[in-house]
């Protein structure tokens, strides 16, 4: 028998002959049965999760599409104008706060820098609507600031001008100090990853520290900064609690009013589609702006970046730039809420709050477990098959994170309401029994909305963790007789335990803070901590709303603390103690 040599390619083998190249559609799947099954399963999951977004888009083609035009040009102009004001104002705020603080704590030495490394992300633990409640009590006419001003000056109510917190400007203020950590985190990570060679080269060419930042570091960090700014803008456009409390009319408030006040499903759907289009346009503009530009580092050499010692007024300025966002975005609002709870809040462990906490944690726990389980299946499908179809399914399932909660709620309610109506009509015609609403306004429908909104968080975390598991693990497990499914459960899952817990925890906390989807879709007489805080604040009972708000913040601090520890551990030159 001669030596084995690769067979020469046949010119054209008949169907079914060995060595035939698979047609392009079949290349979308892996050759293994398990890979094909998981890919099809991942695609099915993705299509189900994408259904609400598709339902919203479909409302644009409804026969009664004149509903959107019926709002009138003045109302639409107000909605678009307010959205633009909030977007532009928030963009300016988060860029200034996030980029400046990220550069200072990365490249400069000044008093308090080691604390600001992690303290600057604390505002992420506080929902924007909770900060809005705190500042409303603090800055409105009967509040302590204006009361002290009148007492000191002797002025009357008509003798002075004071900025109105319940305005577009007030909303921009709140969003800027709550959402800047998105830019801070990504900008700081980019600054840390930048090559020392690039910065050293800019200095040898005569650039000052400011010139090296402006002409070298900032352009290299542009993709990361743009990504953080895009996240902040999407959160701004998706917000409901803050703008509703401040009386600023936006698409999210109009969607809620259309569904509940007017009972117009089509109008709510078309407003949702319009808002979805704005968010999609925002993402496309950011991506197009980066096309054709290179941001590669000149070297992979990783070193501790040189620190610039700040002294005198420069050190004071650096400290001030970092302490202001931490104070206004976290310390002051939390202090206000603690005071309000002390003077007029509820008991944290009263029967009412035990029930609210149980409802909240039940919803968040169910959503987190399902999201992580589905994300593990979808990420493993990509690992087994590596097919474009599996990757497309993951991206499709994750697109809901860019969609506002109110839009997702409408998108979920439309098909569920149609299914309920069809079932009720069939039961009436067949058995003379009315089933009413079974799926609409149910726990299952609400959890499904959470999955659509936050699957991207779980998928991205699980995918990143699974990619770090060497393929040799799979080969070793298979050689020991493990099936691919058993390899996932007995090899990959234990290795990824920390990342799976992290993904579940982030989804859990996001669900606890979620307001618009919960407000629209919750079952009758089923309230959560977010609903309790919103209802009391809407009735101007801010002191009582502080209790639920503080419990939401306490829950949000858990992943922020974990993130802070990760950041500290990843610092160049860090040594664990």
Judge whether 125 and 553 are in contact, CB under 8 Å. Answer: yes
Q: How confident is the model at residue 499 (pLDDT cuts 50, 70, 90)?
A: confident
Judge whether 426 and 457 are in contact, CB under 8 Å. Answer: no
DSSP designation for 309 = E
- Most trustworthy range by pLDDT among 37-51, 52-66, 261-275, 427-441: 37-51
The whole-number average pLDDT for the span 30-37 is 64
User: Average pLDDT over the chain, rounded to whole?
Assistant: 79
Least confident range of 12-21, 157-166, 474-483 = 12-21
Q: Which residues contact 494 (CB under 8 A, 6 or more apart)?
A: none
Distance of CA 546 to the CA centre of its chain: 24
DSSP designation for 490 = I
Closest CA to 272 of 285, 284, 260, 254: 254
Q: How confident is the model at residue 549 (pLDDT cuts 50, 70, 90)?
A: very high
Centre a 10 Å sphere on the Cβ of residue 49 and count the other Cβ atoms it contains.
23
Report the share of the chain in percent with pLDDT over 70. 80
Q: How confident is the model at residue 29, as a pLDDT? A: 41
Rounded to two decimals, what is the model's pTM? Answer: 0.80
Residues facing residue 308 across a β-bridge = 108
- Using alpha carbons only, how large is the chain's radius of gyration in Å? 27
> CB-based burial of residue 204 (10 Å sphere; 0-12 exposed, 13-18 middle, 19+ buried)?
exposed
d(CA 233, CA 249) in angstroms, rounded, equals 17
């Amino acid at each position: 028998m001669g030596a084995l040599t690769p067979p020469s390619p046949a010119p054209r083998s008949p169907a079914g002959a060995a060595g035939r190249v698979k047609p392009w559609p079949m290349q979308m799947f892996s050759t293994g049965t398990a890979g094909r099954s998981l890919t099809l399963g991942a695609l099915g999951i993705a299509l189900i999760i994408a259904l609400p977004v598709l339902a919203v888009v479909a409302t644009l083609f409804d026969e009664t599409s004149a509903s959107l035009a019926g709002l009138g040009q003045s109302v639409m102009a107000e909605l678009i104008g307010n959205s633009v004001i909030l977007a532009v104002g928030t963009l300016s705020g988060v860029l200034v706060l996030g980029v400046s603080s990220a550069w200072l704590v990365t490249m400069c030495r000044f008093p308090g820098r080691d604390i600001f490394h992690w303290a600057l992300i604390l505002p992420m633990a506080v929902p924007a609507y909770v900060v809005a409640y705190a500042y409303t009590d603090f800055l409105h006419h009967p509040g302590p600031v204006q009361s002290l001003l009148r007492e000191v000056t002797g002025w009357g109510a008509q003798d002075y001008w004071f900025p109105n917190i319940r305005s577009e400007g007030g909303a921009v203020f709140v969003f800027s100090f709550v959402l800047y950590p998105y830019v801070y985190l990504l900008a700081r990570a980019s600054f840390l990853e930048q090559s020392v060679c690039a910065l050293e080269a800019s200095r040898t060419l005569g650039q000052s520290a400011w010139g090296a930042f402006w002409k070298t570091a900032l352009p290299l960090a542009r993709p990361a900064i743009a990504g953080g700014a895009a996240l902040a803008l999407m959160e701004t456009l998706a917000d409901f609690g803050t703008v509703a409390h401040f009386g600023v009319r936006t698409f999210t408030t109009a969607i809620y009013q259309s569904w509940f006040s007017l009972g117009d499903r089509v109008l709510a759907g078309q407003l949702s589609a319009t808002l979805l289009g704005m968010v999609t346009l925002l993402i496309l503009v950011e991506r197009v702006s980066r096309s054709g530009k290179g941001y590669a580092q000149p070297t992979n050499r990783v070193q501790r970046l040189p620190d610039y010692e700040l002294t005198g007024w420069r050190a004071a300025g650096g400290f001030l730039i970092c302490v202001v966002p931490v104070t206004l975005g976290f310390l002051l609002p939390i202090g206000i809420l603690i005071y309000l709870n002390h003077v007029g809040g509820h008991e944290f462990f009263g029967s009412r709050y035990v029930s609210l906490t149980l409802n909240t944690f039940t919803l968040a726990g169910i959503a987190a477990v399902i999201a992580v389980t589905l994300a593990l299946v979808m990420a493993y499908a990509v690992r087994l098959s590596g097919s474009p179809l599996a990757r497309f399914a993951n991206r499709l399932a994750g697109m809901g994170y860019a969609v506002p909660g109110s839009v997702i709620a409408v998108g979920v309610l439309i098909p569920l309401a149609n299914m309920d109506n069809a079932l009720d009509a069939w039961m009436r015609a067949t058995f003379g029994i009315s089933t009413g609403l079974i799926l609409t306004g149910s726990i299952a429908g609400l959890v499904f909305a959470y999955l659509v909104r936050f699957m991207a968080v779980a998928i991205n975390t699980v995918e990143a963790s699974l990619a770090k598991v060497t393929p040799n693990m799979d080969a070793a497990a298979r050689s020991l007789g493990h099936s691919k499914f058993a390899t996932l459960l007995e090899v990959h899952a234990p290795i990824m335990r920390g990342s799976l817990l992290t993904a579940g925890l982030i989804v859990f906390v996001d669900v606890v803070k979620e307001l618009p989807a919960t407000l629209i879709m919750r079952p009758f007489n089923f309230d959560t901590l977010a609903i309790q805080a919103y209802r009391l604040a809407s009735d101007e009972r801010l002191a009582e709303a502080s209790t639920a708000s503080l419990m939401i913040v306490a829950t949000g601090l858990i992943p922020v603390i974990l993130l802070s520890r990760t950041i500290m551990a990843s610092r160049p030159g860090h040594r664990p103690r």
